[in-house]
Amino acid sequence: MDSGILVCDNISLIKLKKLILNEVEILSIDVEGFNMKVLNIINIIDCLDEKKSECLYFKNSHKVMRVKKILI
Asked whether the whole model's pTM tops 0.85, one would answer no
| pLDDT per residue as tens digits for the range 7-59 | 999 999 999 999 998 999 999 999 899 999 999 999 888 888 888 899 999 99
> What are the sequence ranges of the domains in the chain?
1-41, 45-72
Question: Can you give the chain as a three-state secondary structure string?
Answer: CCCCCEEEEHHHHHHHHHHHCCCEEEEEEEECCEEEEEEEECCCCCCCCCCCCEEEECCCCCCEEEEEECCC
How many angstroms separate the first and last alpha carbons of the chain? 17
| Alpha-carbon distance values, 15 to 55, 62, 68 (Å) | 35, 39, 34
